[in-house]
């Protein structure tokens, strides 16, 4: 949902900076790697210690690399299958670090097994949501569905809540409840999105099998 509008806006904003980096000889792959490393540091160094505000600031700085590297590749005319694969793979690593950081906090000082479990569910469901689309496309299906909570929504909801919750350490009262609320929202939204994609793949697969005359249930398991 957010991808449709936010990507177009930030692409325009980041285009001059992308051109600047290309003139300095920086490659899109280097930006992808540096961005992922920065997100991991922000999530796995700051979040487990409860420093949500500063962790969110660090992550926000580096998370824009997800748009910047693609912009650079298009400007340079070097978009490739490898670049797309690397970007998608490292997106999963970055997402895992964010929700893993939350889980570590609640497993330790945060002292909430329930919220630790919710954070782990957010991590796992986000990976599976991405996998369903990739797997569906790999067997020739369009997977034509815009899910309720996709990657952009998961990150925006969780990081905005984490950043605001981090203001609790500066004496702002009541904001620490925002992160638990956000994690529950992301967990529920991810579950709905997973259901949307599974239903879509099932429908598209049935239509494709009917057109080709393939009996239902004849596919090999992976």
CA distance 93 to 18: 23
> Which element (helix H / strand E) includes 41?
helix 28-41
Place of tokens 């049935």: 206
For the record, the structure tokens of 167 come out as 């203001």
Question: Which of 91, 95, 111, 209 is the catalytic position?
Answer: 91
Instruction: Give CA separation, 111 vs 52, 108, 116, 117, in Å.
Output: 16, 6, 8, 12
Phi-psi region of 26 (alpha: psi -120 to 50; beta: other; left: phi over 0): beta
Sign of the C-alpha dihedral computed for residues 93, 96, 98 and 103 taken in this order: negative
CA distance 220 to 133: 18
- Is 209 noted as a catalytic residue in this protein? no
Tell me which residues are annotated as active site: 91
């Amino acid at each position: 949902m957010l991808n449709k509008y936010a990507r177009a806006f930030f692409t325009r904003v980041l285009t001059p900076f992308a051109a600047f980096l290309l003139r300095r000889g920086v490659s899109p792959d280097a930006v992808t790697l540096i961005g992922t490393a920065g997100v991991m540091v922000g999530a796995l160094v700051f979040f487990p210690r409860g420093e949500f505000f500063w962790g969110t600031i660090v992550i926000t700085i580096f998370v824009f690399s997800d748009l910047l590297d693609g912009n650079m590749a298009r400007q340079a005319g070097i978009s490739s299958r490898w670049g797309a694969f690397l970007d998608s793979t490292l997106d999963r690593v970055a997402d895992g670090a964010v929700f893993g950081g939350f889980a570590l906090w609640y497993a330790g000082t945060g002292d909430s097994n329930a919220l630790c479990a919710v954070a782990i569910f957010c991590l796992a469901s986000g990976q599976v949501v991405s996998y369903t689309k990739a797997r569906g496309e790999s067997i020739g299906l369009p997977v034509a569905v815009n899910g309720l909570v996709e990657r952009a929504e998961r990150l925006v909801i969780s990081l905005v809540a984490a950043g605001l919750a981090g203001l609790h350490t500066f004496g702002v009262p009541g904001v620490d409840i925002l992160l638990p609320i956000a994690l529950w929202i992301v967990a529920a939204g991810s579950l709905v999105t997973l259901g949307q994609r599974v239903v879509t793949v099932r429908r598209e697969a049935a239509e494709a099998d009917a057109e080709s005359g393939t009996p239902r249930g004849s596919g090999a398991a992976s």
